[in-house]
Structure 1
Amino acid sequence: FGGKAAPAYTIAQDIIHLILCLSEVIANDPAVAPHLQVVMVENYNVTAASYLIPASDISEQISLASKEASGTGNMKFMLNGALTLGTMDGANVEIAELVGRDNIYIFGEYSETVIDLYAKSAYKSADFYEREAIKPLVDFIVSDAVLAVGNKERLTRLHNELINKDWFMTLLDLEDYIVTKERMLADYEDRDAWLDQVIVNIAKAGFFSSDRTIAQYNEDIWHLN
């Protein structure tokens, strides 16, 4: 994980706190630690990205559809051979169109559905929380193992936020995310097929070059001679 939280953005700070707690819990679990690490890259910037992006096999671009939160990071991962696991949000949509749905791993609701849920105030996170596959995951935030290494106030606040509000509809796409990631990890075991997808992604990344982008902006907007 990487990122920053504004001084007044309490929930973002709580999320980072949870990540750090999970890192400690997993590091202290002898059954899990040899196979998994959770790392929080503090003050993530271009220098850190220059090391992390080329080393990545999977690019998770999981913002809620319609929020346009992906920026250009997904393009950098794509150019360096990482396959995208993401929602149909931001430039993920263009990547999916370029590489084809067989070479990207899309999950979650589409923008139209999300916008409609907001408009009608129809999303109730508590309903999703009660699902068998979701409840244990959310409750783990306030489990004894996590509370033993974390701040109870922060963890309880985040737990309550997910159940009672969940403004960014985290639970809406959670089950589909899990299924899609499991499929992606299974596909990774077939190295030849995986590398075929990598080659397609690298080859199609040229669409995002600054030369083409500037030329299209000029043609569509600026109309400079």
Structure 2
Amino acid sequence: MESKHFDLVGFENDVMVWSDYENEVPSLDDRNWVWSDHPPMQCQVRTVKVHHPFYMMAGEPFWVLHTPASSSINGWDSHPEEIEHSSIIQCSIERVLVRDEFKAWLRVKVLEVRMIKDFMEYFPVRDGSKGYLGDFEVFRDPNIFSYRDWLFISAGAQGDLGVWGLVKRMDGQYHMLVYGDWGFHKNNIFGGNILLPKHQIEGWIEQAMQDNRYDTLE
């Protein structure tokens, strides 16, 4: 769970879902339970449900993307207003409540909360001119959603694997603050402050507009 290119490495938000339960939890197979819309706070102990590919040991710190309930279910492209309320959270497992081979209810302690909107202040700028956008070009023709100063860029292969990036426009430059890659046995996120090549991103935007793969969200 380390990267030489990014400052944080963790799990996507759908690998770990937050609840308002404490020690009494629904069945692992019960899908009709209410997701929490209370953001995790530092030093809290919360109950979460995790599933494969989550694989951490008790007491071992890990990072996970957290988004409010609406965008957790439907994505930032449906609820872009929740981007600035999203964070990457460091946790550790306090106790396993119940588990099976693929999923579990856990009690976790919140060690640290870092808001994505503040990543440009948290992390030093890294040069993104080499290697950071290669996976997008492998899949070709990324879809781009624009919301205020934010771009959400995604590309994939028939729903089996793909990549996405959350980019903030600032002073005419493009900073990728979160990158994600997912597949059959991974669902990872990477956090940092990567200054992307302006000509490349604007070329993607122009091509996406021509191909009807660019949407401006309100």
* TM bracket, shorter-chain basis: under 0.3
Higher share of residues assigned helix: 1
Which one has a bigger Cα radius of gyration?
A: 1
TM-score normalized by the length of structure 1: 0.24
TM-score normalized by the length of structure 2: 0.24
